[in-house]
Amino acid sequence: MENILEIKNLKKYFPIHKGLLLREVGQVKAIDGVSFTVRKGETLGLVGESGCGKSTLGRTLIRLYEPTEGEMKFKNRDWRAESGEKLRIMRRDMQMIFQDPFSSLDPRMTVGQILAEPFEIHGLLSRTERNARVLQLLETVGLKASHVNRYPHEFSGGQKQRICIARALALEPSVIIADEPVSALDVSIQAQILNLMKDLQQKFQLTYIFISHDLSVIEHLCDRIAVMYLGKIVEIAPREELYANPQHPYTQALISAIPRIGEGKKKMKKSLSGEVPSPINPPPGCTFHPRCSQKMDICSQQLPVLKSYDSVKGDHCTSCWLYEK
Amino acid sequence: MNDPVVSVRNLETTFSTRLGPFRAVNDVSYDIYRGETLGIVGESGCGKSVTSFSLMRLIEQPGRISRGQVFINGRDILLLSEHDMEAVRGGEMAIIFQEPMTALNPVLSIGHQINEQIMKHMRLPLNEARERGIEMLSLVGIPSPGDRYDTYPHQLSGGMRQRAMIAMALSCDPKILIADEPTTALDVTIQAQILELIQGLQEKLNMTVQFITHDLGVISEISDRTMVMYGGQTCEIAQTQELFLNPAHPYTEALIGSRPKFGHRSNRLQTIEGSVPAPHELPPGCPFFNRCHRAKDECRVNRPPLTQVKAGHSVACFFPVSH
């Protein structure tokens, strides 16, 4: 399968300014050297706890944030080098759905205006064509044509998220980055949106980058999964492989911490002690070592590389010293 | 079984709104036995939090408890004076809220906030209260509790704040703990730590727990019995394992089916059409009527009573799912 996105050693640091002169006193290393590829038509899941950099990564991929360092190739073109008119045209091909549908829709615009805006910005289609396309989009995401003149507040959370999805689909992108698209929704509504996203992917051959903290949702939707911790990818593997054979101690802890439905009351066992350290001053070596139950001397000294430790399953990469022979 | 510690009878909590009175909790009855964890699960607006707040008598205007009884160890606390209720709240019964950042006072130190109730309920002098407070912080697994005692809420992480709130809730040895979505704002690994902590303390202190969440996974792992709520009413109540294996209410069944099950991957998730109706749009009969695939005319007009289908398993549905 061909790669649609190739990311190499991507970094995004945010400066911290303090004091009267707002001098730069440090940096938040939100993404700290991340490399991966996204294949055409697949769903890549980015999973991790709050502060691991998964949302920053999503926003950097779509160039809402300018990366500090690294290479990004989108459809074999240098995505970082694009600017101005060219960037705008390329952006049609990559769209985003945000977590909170309540704050990502302009309350003063009708649904029709919201969905027509992408065409206005890009100067596409005539007025009548736009209107027809808007109605078609509404239908695609399961809303009614009669909704077109309503305002966002007249919709429920699930319906709002459908509007956001319709907006993302408007310009027929090939890649959609979805940042926790169901986290703000009730369980029964989550299922509706997840099913819709699956249907749309089939219908339009979309490539998804799906960001979530919910491992059950990630398992349901994704083909490959990247686990992030403190700005780095610690493990990346195809779905079955990752859940059947998690290698990194963090992935193992994360999977064992998922509450399972219908297995009865059980004694909770601590999966992991301590908390995620600050990304301003990450621990040396492997950033996970202060919480790791299997840490060795080398872990606090040297950073492990993300690589495959199994020649048969070259698709499964981990960055952990445990597997270094 | 022994006598119930908590016994709620026909509880009704009403909010007056512009569109008329609205019953957030509508004729809900249940019992919780000593040392047991009752889970209450439901989606936003189902009345699960209002039920807990009613138990603590924390309902404020424009809401009020309009009917029913809440017996705590045989005493109806709805009849107590506000002054007597203050002794119950934080003493006999304690609550952990969902968002520790909003539940804690940002301008008072953690220690000060714990002290307050220890001094009130246990009538200890300041220095002993401080000792007790530090002991509580160490009980909930806060490292270097002596130093943390004098810190302010914003200086702690989300997990630590939640621990501090649990320490506060447990500081006066409550017999009953109400946990209202205590782990919803937390990451999974921290959630596992907090759930383990609550379970451990429950055993140690022989507490009775009412645990509210929207997360079916969490409820399945922590509670002995589970009650499902929808539109302010009880849909179903049963032993947790029984409820998940043989859900009798169509809503319970659909709710379980709509959640991706870990390790049992299916191509499509079961969905519930539509969304939870707004309070003033609730149908007069069964609240789930307009979303239910089994509904018949009868369900539109008549409210199904909570009926026992098996020992310890009751459901409010005219046409329950049979297995």
List pLDDT tens digits, range B159-172: 888 889 989 998 88
Cβ neighbours of B187 in A, within 8 Å: 49-50, 213, 276
| Record: contact A253-B189, CB cut-off 8 A | yes
User: Is A132 in CB contact (< 8 Å) with chain B?
Assistant: no
Half-sphere exposure of A153 (CA within 13 A, CB side): 3
Q: At what angle do helices A187-204 and A157-169 cross, to 10 degrees?
A: 20
Residue A175 pLDDT: 96
pLDDT per residue as tens digits for the range B241-258? 999 999 999 999 999 988
User: Is A244 in CB contact (< 8 Å) with chain B?
Assistant: no
With CA atoms as reference, report the closest residue to B149 among B173, B182, B124, B171.
B171
| Record: contact A270-B196, CB cut-off 8 A | yes
Is residue B323 pLDDT above 80, yes or no? no
pLDDT per residue as tens digits for the range B215-225? 999 999 999 99
* CA–CA min distance A195, chain B (Å): 6
Is residue B267 pLDDT above 90, yes or no? no
Mean pLDDT, residues B184-197 taken together: 84
Residue B149 pLDDT: 92
For residue B132, give the H/E element and its range.
helix B126-139
For residue B103, give the H/E element and its range.
helix B100-103
Cβ neighbours of B216 in A, within 8 Å: 187, 261
Cβ neighbours of B43 in A, within 8 Å: 186-188
- Comparing alpha-carbon positions, the chain A residue that sits nearest to B39 is A265
| Record: contact B191-A219, CB cut-off 8 A | no
Name every residue whose Cβ is closer than 8 Å to that of residue A302 and which is 6 or more positions away in sequence. Answer: A285, A286, A321
- Comparing alpha-carbon positions, the chain B residue that sits nearest to A264 is B241
| Record: contact B192-A257, CB cut-off 8 A | yes
Q: Which of A186, A187, A257 sits opposite B189 (nearest CB)?
A: A257
Q: How confident is the model at residue B282 (pLDDT cuts 50, 70, 90)?
A: confident
Model ipTM value: 0.81
Q: Which of B224, B244, B275 sits opposite A189 (nearest CB)?
A: B275
User: Is A213 in CB contact (< 8 Å) with chain B?
Assistant: yes
Q: Which of A253, A259, A261 sits opposite B256 (nearest CB)?
A: A261
Q: What angle do CA B270, B273, B275 make, to 5 degrees?
A: 120
Residues in chain A where the model's pLDDT stays below 70: 264, 267-271, 311-313
Q: Which of B44, B215, B254 sits opposite A259 (nearest CB)?
A: B215
Contact yes or no for A28/A279 (Cβ under 8 A) = yes
User: Is B191 in CB contact (< 8 Å) with chain A?
Assistant: yes
Q: Which of residues 194-213 of B touch A (CB under 8 A)?
A: 195-196, 199
Cβ neighbours of A253 in B, within 8 Å: 189
User: Is B135 in CB contact (< 8 Å) with chain A?
Assistant: no
* Interface with B, mutate which of A55, A180, A186 (most B CBs under 10 A): A186
Identify any residues that bridge with A319 across adjacent strands, giving them in sequence order: none
Strands A175-179 and A207-212: parallel
Q: Which of residues 275-314 of B touch A (CB under 8 A)?
A: 275-276
Is residue B111 pLDDT above 90, yes or no? yes
- Give me Rg for the CA atoms of chain B: 20
* CA–CA min distance A276, chain B (Å): 10
| Record: contact A262-B220, CB cut-off 8 A | yes
Q: Which of residues 1-30 of B touch A (CB under 8 A)?
A: none
User: Is A198 in CB contact (< 8 Å) with chain B?
Assistant: yes
User: Is B144 in CB contact (< 8 Å) with chain A?
Assistant: no
* CA–CA min distance B310, chain A (Å): 19
Specify the 3-state DSSP secondary structure of B248: coil
Residue B64 pLDDT: 93
pLDDT per residue as tens digits for the range B118-137? 998 888 999 999 999 999 89
| Record: contact B272-A260, CB cut-off 8 A | no
User: Is A268 in CB contact (< 8 Å) with chain B?
Assistant: yes
Strands B93-96 and B75-76: unpaired
Identify any residues that bridge with A73 across adjacent strands, giving them in sequence order: A6, A78
Residue B275 pLDDT: 77
Residue B251 pLDDT: 94
User: Is A90 in CB contact (< 8 Å) with chain B?
Assistant: no
Residue A270 pLDDT: 61
- Comparing alpha-carbon positions, the chain A residue that sits nearest to B255 is A188
Beta-strand (E) ranges in B208-301? 208-213, 225-230, 233-239
Q: How confident is the model at residue B17 (pLDDT cuts 50, 70, 90)?
A: confident
Contact yes or no for A243/A251 (Cβ under 8 A) = no
Q: Which of B187, B220, B244 sits opposite A213 (nearest CB)?
A: B187
Kindly compute the dihedral angle of the four CA atoms of residues B141, B143, B149, B155, in this order, to the nearest 10 degrees. -110
